[in-house]
Amino acid sequence: MEADPGAAEAVAMWRALLARRGGARAALPAPADADAARLRDLCAPLTEPASAPDGTFVTAHLAQSLDGRIATASGVSRWISGAADIVHTHRLRALHHAVIVGAGTVHHDDPRLTTREVEGPNALRVVLDPDRRLHAGYQVFRDGLPTLLACAADAAAPCGDAEILPLPRAGRGLDLAALVRALRARGLTHLFVEGGGVTVGRFLAAGLIDRLHVTVAPLLLGDGIPALVLPGAGTPEQGLRFPLAVHRLGDDMLFDCAIARRAIVP
C-alpha cells in the first residue's frame, strides 16, 4: 500500500510548528494537503513571538456543550468533546512552555497534563491552588514529572513532588499577573491555560489572554457547570468583540478567538 502523501505533509507541518515553539523564527512549509493547511492555520498563530509588554503569549482552551456547559452538575467532563479535540489539546500542550489548570480541574479529573497523543515535549505543569486544599495523591504530584503548585503565600505548604510557588492573593484567587511574571522569569514565554472555566474566566477578566480556543460539541446537557463566569458588561457595546476563525474538529466546531489581552468593561 502506498503511503498517504497528505498524512506525510501533516506530519511535516506539525514538526515545523514544533520548531517554532516559544516564538522561534522557523519557516513553515506551504502545504498542498488540506489537513496540513488547516493545522498550520490553527496552530501557527500560537507560535508567534510574544508581543505583550510582559513578554508572554497566553493561550486558553475550553470544550463545552452547545448549551454552554463544560461539565455536568456533578462535575463530570469526560468527554464532552470528541477525539479530535483531545488531540488538539495535546498539541496545545506540546506547543507551549507551561500548561496551567485550576485546583478544581485537578480535583475532578485528576489529569496527567502530558503530551501523549502527539509528537512533542511535555510542558511544565502549573496548578493553581490558592488555599492549598489539594492532597499529594493526584497524578501531577506523584509521577515524578515537573509540576509547579502556585498557592497564596500565606498558605504555602509542601505537596508531593511539586515545587511550591507562593504568590500574592487577588480577591478569591491568586494575582495572575504575578504568576505570569514569575513564569516569564523562568524563561517560560508561551503559556497554555487549559482550564477549567473559573480559571480561564479569571485570566480573561484580568486581560491576560491572547488567544482563546472554544470547542463546541453537538451535545446538550441541560444543566451543569457553565463554561465561563465573567464580570457582566453594562451594555453590548461594552462587551468584548474580537476577530474570529472557525475550524472543524471531527464532529465539533472550534472557535479561534483573537482576544489580544482585552477584557470586558463592567
Q: Do the Cβ atoms of 16 and 27 come closer than 8 Å? A: yes
Residue 114: per-residue pLDDT: 97
Q: Do the Cβ atoms of 126 and 183 come closer than 8 Å? A: yes
Q: Do the Cβ atoms of 73 and 225 come closer than 8 Å? A: yes
Would you say residue 252 has pLDDT above 90?
yes
Bond prior to 14 in cis (omega within 30° of 0): no
* Chain mean position to CA 78: 17
- d(Cα 164, Cα 151) in Å, to the nearest integer? 7
Cβ-Cβ contacts under 8 Å for 33 (sequence gap 6 or more):
5, 6, 9, 10
User: What confidence tier does 3 reach under pLDDT thresholds 50, 70, 90?
Assistant: low
Q: Do the Cβ atoms of 76 and 157 come closer than 8 Å? A: no
Q: What percent of the chain has pLDDT over 90?
A: 80
Average pLDDT, stretch 59-65? 96
φ, ψ dihedrals at 16, nearest 5°? -70, -40
Q: Do the Cβ atoms of 229 and 183 come closer than 8 Å? A: no
Residue 234: per-residue pLDDT: 84
User: What confidence tier does 1 reach under pLDDT thresholds 50, 70, 90?
Assistant: very low
Task: Give the pTM.
Answer: 0.94
183 or 108, which is more confident: 183
Q: Where in the chain are the domains?
A: 1-48, 50-257
Q: What is the pLDDT of residues 193-245, one digit of tens each?
A: 998 899 999 999 999 999 999 999 999 999 899 998 888 888 888 888 999 99
Q: What is the pLDDT of residues 241-251, one digit of tens each?
A: 999 999 999 99
- d(Cα 165, Cα 252) in Å, to the nearest integer? 36
User: What confidence tier does 5 reach under pLDDT thresholds 50, 70, 90?
Assistant: low
Q: What percent of the chain has pLDDT over 70?
A: 98
Residue 103: per-residue pLDDT: 95
Long-range own/partner contacts, residues 30-36 (CB < 8 A, 24 or more apart): 33/5, 33/6, 33/9, 34/6, 35/6, 35/7, 35/9, 35/10, 36/6, 36/9, 36/10, 36/12
Would you say residue 161 has pLDDT above 80?
yes
DSSP state of 152: E
- Per-residue DSSP letters for 86-116? HHHHHHHHHHSSEEEEEHHHHHHH-------
**Closest C-alpha to 245, from 212, 221, 223:** 212
Q: What is the pLDDT of residues 174-197, one digit of tens each?
A: 999 999 999 999 999 999 999 889
165 or 235, which is more confident: 165
* Per CATH, domain 50-257 is 3.40.430.10: yes
**Closest C-alpha to 257, from 240, 239, 249, 245:** 245
Pairing of strands 169-170, 147-152: unpaired
- d(Cα 246, Cα 43) in Å, to the nearest integer? 13
